A = this chain, B = another copy of it.
Amino acid sequence: MSLAPPVPETNVLAVASHVVSGNVGNKIAVFTLQSMGCEVAALNTVQFSNHTGYRQWKGTRVSAQEIRDLWDGLRQSYLDDFDMMLSGYVPGAAAVEAVGGIAKELRAKAKADKGHEGRFFWVLDPVMGDNGKIYVAEDVVPAYRNLVPYADLILPNQFEAELLSDVKITDSASLEQAIAVLHERYNIPHIVITSVSLPLKGSQAPSVSNSRAQSPVQSVPPSTKTMSVVGSSMTSSRKPRLFKIHFPVFDGYFSGTGDMFAALMVTRMREAVHHDDAAAAASTPAGGLLLRDTASWLSADSVDVLDLPLAKAAEKVLASMHEVLARTCEAMVVELRRAVEARGGSDKVDSETVHLLRSRSAELRLARNLECLRNPEIEYRAEKM
C-alpha cells in the first residue's frame, strides 16, 4: 500500500473543537485531513479535556473575538489562502457568526476571480442537535440558517435537516421534500444527510460482505441494524439529484463519527472533482471550464446522479468509516473488559465508572489504522432514489 497522498495539494482551514484526550472535532478532523495529504490550518473553538459524551469535562471555550483575532493574525501574514474550509462545532451564535464571516470573506475572494469561482469550497457541518433535541443555544439555529447560503456542501443529520428545512422527516417523501426545500431556499449546491434511520423506498438491508474474511475486523460483525446517508447535488434549476447509500451499523455509541465523516468528505470530494477533470481532459483535450474552477464544483445537468462527485466521494467515505468503526469495535470490547477486570470485575465497578470506561473504549481508533483511510474497500454503493 502506498504512502503517496490520495488528494492533490490542498490547503484546508478546519474550524472545530479540540479535546486533549480522544478523537472528536478537530482532534480527529485535522489528523484525517493531514493523513490524506492536506495542509491544515486548525482553528480550535474550544479546548476541553475530553468530549462531552463522558458527561464530565474541563476546559474553556474560545470567544467570537478570539476567533476574529486569529483570523486577523492569519490575514496579516498572508496565511489566508485556502482551497477549502471545514467547519464543525462552534460554541454560541456570536462565534458561529465569526466563523461565517471568515467563510464569506473567502467566498467573496473566490467569486471575484472570474473563471475560477470554484477555488474555494466550504463544507459546513451545522452542529445543532440530534435525535429530536437541540443541544446548542436557541439563537445558534437562526445563525446557521443565515450561513447556509454561503456554503457549498452541508452535512446535517436528520434532525438538523428538519431544523433547516422546517420539514418533519418521517418517510422517503418528506425526506426528499426536505432536501428540495434546502436546495431551493438556501441555494445550497450539495447536501448529505448523514444519519437517516428511516426505511427508505426500494432499500434492501445490505448483506455483510465476507470479502475480508482474513481481516481481524470480522471478529466483531456489525449489528443487523442499518442506516442510510442520503445525498444530493442540485441541478442548475435547484432541483435535487438524489442518491442514498445503505450500510450496516455497529452496536454502541461512537463520538466523532460525524467529524471524521466531514473531514473525509472534504478530501474525497476534492479527489473526485480532480478525477472528473482528468477524465474530461482525456476525452476532449480542448476542454471547457474545469469542474474545479466551476462555482461550487456543480456538475452539468446531464451528469447522472451516480456519476456525481458527491456520490463517489460518499461511497469512499462510508467505506473508510465502516473499516475504522470495525477496528474500533474490536479494540473496544477488549479494552473495556480489561479496564473493568483491572478494577476487580463488574461487581466492583459502579455504573458511572462503567460509563466513563465505555466512553473511552469507544474512542475512534485511527492512528494505527491509516490503511482504512487511504485505501478502503468499497462495499456499499450509492443508489438512485
Contacts and interface: CB of A to CB of B under 8 A. Distances in A.
A79 B58 contact: no
A58 B35 contact: no
Interface in A62-83: 62, 66, 69-74, 76-79
A34 B368 CA distance: 8
Q: From DSSP, what is the main secondary structure of chain A's interface residues?
A: mixed
A280 interface: no
Interface in A181-203: none
A298 B48 CA distance: 36
Interface string A259-270: 000000000000
A34 B371 CA distance: 14
Chain A contact residues (Cβ within 8 angstroms of B): what range? 35 or more
A5 interface: yes
15 contacts: A21-B79, A31-B31, A38-B367, A40-B367, A47-B47, A49-B70, A49-B72, A54-B77, A56-B73, A56-B77, A57-B73, A57-B77, A58-B72, A78-B339, A78-B357
Q: Which 7 A-B pairs have the closest CB atoms?
A: A49-B73, A58-B73, A21-B79, A21-B41, A3-B371, A58-B69, A34-B367
Interface of A: 1-3, 5, 9, 18, 20-22, 27, 30-31, 34-35, 37-44, 47-50, 54, 56-60, 62, 66, 69-74, 76-79, 339, 353, 356-357, 359-360, 366-368, 370-371, 374
